[in-house]
Amino acid sequence: MTAATKSFPADFPITRKWPAENPQILQLYSFPTPNGIKVSAMLEETGIAYEPHLVSFATNDQLTPEFISLNPNNKIPAIVDPDGPGGRPLALFESGAILIYLADKTGKLISSDPAGRYETLQWLMFQMGGIGPMFGQFGFFHKFAGKEIEDRRPFERYRDESKRLLSVLDARLKGRDFIMGENYTIADIATWPWVRAMVGFYEGGAHVGIDDLAEVKRWLDACCNRPASQRAVNIPKRD
């Protein structure tokens, strides 16, 4: 049975562990990490009706057969939209892919102009390929098990690359309210949760020179102060 012919919820094993109270609306399986917050923020910004399900890392929910049936890469977030293309259910994982899908579904937070669309996707990929992986590695070597390694070269490598990426973002934001200019887009939604994590959760602001990045700080405040963003950082609610 292909994804195009599946019915929801019967043909999705993930619903055995996370039953849908309202199977008519989009189902979100996530945890409020930076990647998880991206999709929660997008859903809150667009106003799509959805039902959040907490994928708890404490109990390794992401490694269960039910979750892996939806995302074989066992990473959050993932969604099932019962009203996907052609009115058929669509399952998606990878936060960037979900952001693009939701932007296209709603016609929001991405330019309708082809050139503007691709430029937005360019900056989305900048986050997906650079900021996310590098900040995550920095966090490991700064705050978690990596800090016990005597060899400082891994920490220094990811710190320096994180600083460089932030300098690229800072330069992009000069003269612009948001990454794409006046309009808040999926490029911002993809990026601010990771910058927030760098200066907050990872406690790395001083290491990456955040106080010297006036444009990034201004932009981060603007993104975090959006009502949808303030809600998203607690979706799904932790146990």
Q: Where are the domains of the chain?
A: 3-108, 114-229
Residue 219: which region, alpha, beta or left (left: phi > 0; alpha: psi -120 to 50)? alpha
The model carries a pTM of 0.95
| pLDDT of residue 3 exceeding 50 | no
Average pLDDT estimate for 204-221? 98
pLDDT band at 239 (very low <50, low <70, confident <90, very high): confident
| pLDDT of residue 1 exceeding 50 | no
CATH of domain 3-108: 3.40.30.10
Report the CATH fold assignment for 114-229: Glutathione S-transferase Yfyf (Class Pi); Chain A, domain 2 (1.20.1050)
Distant-in-sequence, close-in-space partners of 114: CB < 8 Å, separation ≥ 6: none
Q: Is 92 helix (H, G, I), strand (E, B) or coil?
A: strand
What does the pLDDT look like over 126-145, one tens digit per residue?
999 999 999 999 999 999 98
**Cβ neighbour number for residue 182 with a 10 Å cutoff:** 7
Token code pair at residue 8: 């929801």
Instruction: State the burial class of residue 24 (Cβ atoms within 10 Å of its Cβ: 0-12, 13-18, 19+).
Output: exposed
What does the pLDDT look like over 38-80, one tens digit per residue?
999 999 999 999 999 999 999 999 999 999 999 999 999 999 9
**Cβ neighbour number for residue 130 with a 10 Å cutoff:** 18
